[in-house]
Amino acid sequence: MNESEEKNRKLVADGLKSIWFPFTQMQEFTPEEVLVIADGKGAILRDTEGREYIDGVSSLWTNVHGHRKERIDKAIRDQLDKVAHSTLLGLAHEPAIECAKKLLEIVPKGLTRVFYSESGSTAVEIALKMAFQYQKQAPGGDPRKTRFISFTNAYHGDTLGAVSVGGIDLFHATYQELLFPTIKAESPYCYRCAFGASSPGCRHDCLRQLENLLATHAHELAALIIEPLVQGAAGILVQPPGYLKRVRELCTKYGVLMIADEVAVGFGKTGTMFACEREGVTPDILALGKGLSGGYLPLAATVATEEIYNGFLGRFDEFKTFFHGHTYTGNPLACAAAVANLDIFAEEKVIENLAAKIIRLNQKLHPIVTMSCVGEIRQRGFMVGIELVADNITKEMFPPARRIGHKVILEARKRGLIIRPLGDVIVLMPPLCITNEEIDRLCDITYDSIRAVVGD
């Protein structure tokens, strides 16, 4: 065993003794599965033994312009020479001001106020609290409106408010007694339609059901929350064209606030800067995270309309203040990274250059869709879900105990690709900076890994 192998073995052993890894069954997490990352550059990560991997999930859907992006690195170093942290509770600092200003220039028109936090879950919690308190005290609010409508298969984070509006039993059912009740609408999981419909011939029963729920419960609904265009953690469930726009229209029709959770889909992943842009939608409240700092530091934002903001204005003794804040809200280092991130989008024309890569990714997925174990490939921009099935005629799933998706991602690692499964859905979501050659390799390795585990 050479020096690097010995160092890696010790790191793995120490990690398994001390770290409780997220979303991981620790009893079955073996030393052979622990991959210790040492460094990265662009879309490539390297482990402590020098092996290279394509970062096929952009470090959990966060990395945008690649690892060690010089401009973001420099922005953080420059800020370190000034101050690493200063609170936003009653104070301000330049990076937070500059970041908010730049953000408001690119979010959907009509959103005017930025409230910072550190993660997607907290951005959603803040959105829920904003909507609830707005209804309680704003001139345009209604104190009777205390409930939320959300969707089956939804994922908005792991804090309790976010879990309450979630809809994935595997993640959320255990905590049911801790959660506030919500009204659930069926999401458009077209491959496994809850209404038994198929394309062509779909009558959009999911939208019909949603309108019925809104019509029935509008008097008690503070807000609706939705992941625009794609439900990510559910397995990259892609909404049909026009769905999001219709949801906005229904919220307006029935006087229900609309919260768009773009934590997973924002910052170019669907092919536009924000998913809402695709259908010309402006939500009342927008939750952002992940790619906001370019995937460098924990930073999130909840962006509201002026109407929502005005609902919290009043004399001190009226206590209409939004009593919410975090120790690291608007951290200067994270905001400096975000400013650099947004500048790169503009100056390097990232979104404009993305279209050709999206087409190439789609073309390279064609051999995979013909495999007998692939039920469906869902793609929206750089977000891809490959649903593996035991029978692609009946859509029969593999038994969970076989852990097909998990085996596929371990095979991919052997070939130089880091991806993660959502059950038996293989997710591909590389950094936007990935090259054409790396796209080809990502798809080739995915194909070979599926074939090695399941056959073709």
Ordered by where they begin, the domains of the chain are: 35-64+351-454 (3.90.1150.10), 73-347 (3.40.640.10)
- Do residues 287 and 263 touch, judged by C-beta distance below 8 A? yes
- Do residues 405 and 424 touch, judged by C-beta distance below 8 A? yes
Sign (positive or negative) of CA dihedral 233, 234, 237, 242: negative
pLDDT at 200 over 70: no
If you average pLDDT over residues 274-290, what whole number do you get?
A: 98
- Do residues 410 and 33 touch, judged by C-beta distance below 8 A? yes
Instruction: Give the other-Cβ count within 10 Å of 406's Cβ.
Output: 16
3-state secondary structure of 6: helix
pLDDT digits (tens, 9 = 90+) for 219-269: 999 999 999 999 999 999 999 999 999 999 999 999 999 999 999 999 999
pLDDT band of residue 10 (cuts 50, 70, 90) is: very high
Please report, in angstroms and rounded to a whole number, the separation of the first and last CA atoms in the chain: 37
Tell me the residue type at 198: S
Tokens of 36: 């210790």
pLDDT at 456 over 90: no
Sign (positive or negative) of CA dihedral 231, 236, 240, 245: positive
Residues 6+ away with beta carbon under 8 Å from 22: none
pLDDT band of residue 341 (cuts 50, 70, 90) is: very high
- Label residue 165 exposed, middle or buried (CB < 10 Å: 0-12, 13-18, 19+): buried
pLDDT band of residue 32 (cuts 50, 70, 90) is: very high
DSSP symbol at 391: B
pLDDT at 122 over 90: yes
If you average pLDDT over residues 55-67, what whole number do you get?
A: 97
> Which residues lie across from 385 on neighbouring strands?
378, 427
The phi, psi pair for 38, rounded to 5°, reads -105, -40
Residue 5 pLDDT: 85
H or E element that contains 411: helix 404-414
pLDDT at 369 over 80: yes
Work out the mean pLDDT of the chain and round it to a whole number.
96
The phi, psi pair for 330, rounded to 5°, reads 65, 35
- Do residues 160 and 179 touch, judged by C-beta distance below 8 A? yes
Question: How many helices, marked H, and strands, marked E, lie in the chain?
Answer: 15, 17
d(CA 426, CA 406): 9
pLDDT band of residue 325 (cuts 50, 70, 90) is: very high
pLDDT at 206 over 70: yes
CA angle, residues 342, 383, 26, in degrees to nearest 5: 100
| CA separation, residue 343 to residues 64, 245, 297 (Å) | 12, 29, 16
- Do residues 439 and 360 touch, judged by C-beta distance below 8 A? yes
If you average pLDDT over residues 401-406, what whole number do you get?
A: 96
If you average pLDDT over residues 108-116, what whole number do you get?
A: 98
Residue 3 pLDDT: 80
